[in-house]
Every structure is written in structure tokens, then in C-alpha cells.
Amino acid sequence: MSPTPTALLSPADQERRRALRVMKNVALGALVFMAVVFAVSFPLQQEVPWLAYVRAAAEGGMVGALADWFAVTALFRHPLGIPIPHTAIIPSRKDEIGRTLGEFVETNFLSADVVRTKLESMGVSRRLGEWLARPEHADRVADEGSAMVAGVLRALSDSDVQDLITDIAREHVIAPEWGPPLGGWLERLVDAGAHHGAVDLAADTIAAWLEVNRASFDGLVSRRLPSWVPSMAHRLIDDTLYKEAVTFVRAVQDDPGHPARRAVDQYLERLADNLQHDPATIGRFEDAKGGVFDSPRVRELAAEAWNTTKAGLLTSLADPASALRQRATQALVDAGARLSTDPALQHRVDTWVTDGAVFLVDRYRHDIASIITETVEKWDPAETTEKIELMVGRDLQYIRLNGTIVGALAGLLIFTIAHALVG
């Protein structure tokens, strides 16, 4: 297994590789030191008796160093390239390790009790409120939210949005019958007399128009009279028509029971009834509705409305001083202030967050844990081995060093006890 070129490693991994090499050299140096001590003390122990103790310590240190070297190396590769059984554990059992790790995370971290206990102890809503209550934080959230919304708006295709609006309008607005619901609404309006205000407004408007438009009646009827009729009769007829119109409108204004008002009531009652029960009226109304919505001009207006709305939103979202952004920031600050001081609101929000998180964990815990399993399965065995060795290899070299020291002490102790008992 060839190591990854240093140029392809991240700076952190490069530093880990340097530290690993240093510790490997230290551990190897300890083994070589014990070997040198053993090589010197072994032939001289007959002449210098106390060197026997040194030889025993060096011998134990070499055994410990070699045993721990074999154990550490067997995790990552075959020692000396020899395919000894139960060596190169990580590359050969990579997928099993990934599954085990995924099961461990799913069982011990993605359980409802663990998530609920952790969230209930955190005070999520209070911390969030205190953080949002600071204007600089609220402004940051508004910035990020504006960027996200603007990105979504830019990504949307105008033609697709217009088609979607058209489809939704056709399904929920145009396709359903308007006649019967509108007739029922109109019937309730007439029964309650709610239309009287509109009739009063119409009468007042006509009266105001008549007051300032007297000249509009000149020749309205008289121009259709024979030429032999005297001009005085012309003026008399026009004046009479104007006065009758004014008198009629004033009568409608002053008399709540005026025949014209009753005629309006009766017309609206018939219209309400026909819209609910007369197929011909309903059909004409639906045809008129379809004609209006299918008009090319209406579609153009809808497209213009979307384009105008989109451009306005993008401009407001991009401008930190826009009213939209300022209101959004202030709303976030107000929400944060209330959230940080209102215990009842904190309890509700914490309950929502906890219940939502527990629901997601219960429902998707296996899918979340499977990310670990599937990710490890996709890793190359050699690359996986190197990644793990870079992460923990330096600490494992301490095991080799400790094994050398412990082996030396154990060898010395065993020899000392044996010498004391046997002589």
C-alpha cells in the first residue's frame, strides 16, 4: 500500500504524517537501543554478574517492543508483507467496521431519550432569543435569509412560474363553479341589507355629478325634436329633464323605501337565485369567467405582475436599507427579545423543537446512521487505512514505546524473582 503523496494531503494531515514519523522513529529507536544493550550485556554477563539484570531488562524490552510493533502494524497492514491471519484488520474489515460504527451511532446517539434529554437541558429557545435580540445577529440572519430568497428567485424560471400560476389558477379558481357560491353570498348580502350602502353611494355620486354637469342635459332631448318646435320649448324640455333627474335622485336619497331601491333589491334577489338555480344564468356566468381568464391580455397582466413583483423583491432584498430588510431585522430583534423573556413562549418553542427533533430521529435514525455505513463502504481500503492511521497512529506509537519500557521492567522483575528463588 503506497502512501498518498504529501501534496495531495491537507495541511492538517501533513502535520499528522510528520508527527507519526517522529513517533515511529522514537519507538524504533527504543527497540534498537534495547537490542544494542542486549548485544553488549549478553556476552559479558558471565564476567560482570550485574549485567545479567541489564540483559534481562533489554531482552524483555525487545520482546515487548516487537509484540506491540506487531499488534500496531497488524491493525493497518500485514507485518513485513506476510499475509498472517488476522492482520491488516482495517483494510480487510473496512465495511464491517463501517456497519458497526453506524449501528453504534444509531443505538447510542440517535435514540429518542438521548435527543430529548439533551435538548431539554439546553434551553434552545432562550439561547436563540438572547442571540437574536442583538441587532447585529438579527441583521446577519436577515442578510443570510435575503441571500437565500434572492437565490431561489433568480433560480426560478419566469416561464415555469407563470405556467405554474396558470395551472394553479385554472385548477383552483377557473375550474370550480363560481355561480352557486357567488349567488349564495349575494343572497346573504341582500338579506342583511349590506348592499344599501352601495346604493346610497351610487345615489350620492349621481347627485354630485348632476350638480356640476347641468350643461350635459342641453340638447339631450331637444335636438331630436322637429325643427319647427320653438327654441324656448327646447330649453323648457331640457330644463324639465334635468329637474326631473335631480328630483328623482333626491327622492332615492331621501326615501329608504323608494321604488327604485326596491327594484334594485328585487333585481339582486333574482340574480342571486338565478346564480344558484338557473342553469342558463350559471352557464353564461361561467362562460364570461372563462373568457376573462383566457384573455391574452389577462395573461400578459399576470406575467407583468410576476416580473414586477420579482424585480421589486430582488431590489429590496439586495438593499440593506430597504424597508423590507429593516422590517425583517426589527421583527427578528422583537422575536428574540420576547423569546428570551417570556417563559411560556420558551416552553412552547422548546416543546416544538424537542418533539420535532425526536420525531425526525425516530423516523430517520436508521437512514442517518446509514450515511456512515455507506460512506465507509465507498472509501478505498488503502485510503481508509491511511486516514485512520494518520488520526490515531501517533498515539499507537506510544503503545510501542510503552511496551518497550513495560517489557524491560517485566523482564527485569521476572529475572530478579527467578534469581532470588532459584539462585
pLDDT at 35: 95
| 215-222 CB contacts, 8 Å cutoff, 24+ apart | 217/241, 217/242, 217/245
pLDDT at 295: 65
Tell me the per-residue pLDDT of 354-366, one tens digit each, with 9 for 90 and over: 999 989 888 888 8
CA–CA gap between residue 79 and residue 350 (Å, rounded): 55
Residue 255 burial (CB count, 10 A): 11
Question: CA torsion angle for 296, 297, 299, 302 (degrees, to 10)?
Answer: 180
pTM: 0.52
Tell me the per-residue pLDDT of 113-149, one tens digit each, with 9 for 90 and over: 888 888 888 888 999 999 999 999 999 999 999 999 9
Those residues of the chain that have pLDDT short of 50 are 7
Query: DSSP string of 353-389?
Result: HHHHHHHHHHHHHHHHHHHHHHHHHHS-HHHHHHHHH
pLDDT at 214: 79
pLDDT at 328: 92
Residues contacting residue 149 through CB under 8 Å, at least 6 positions apart? 313, 317
63 touches 411 (CB < 8 A): yes
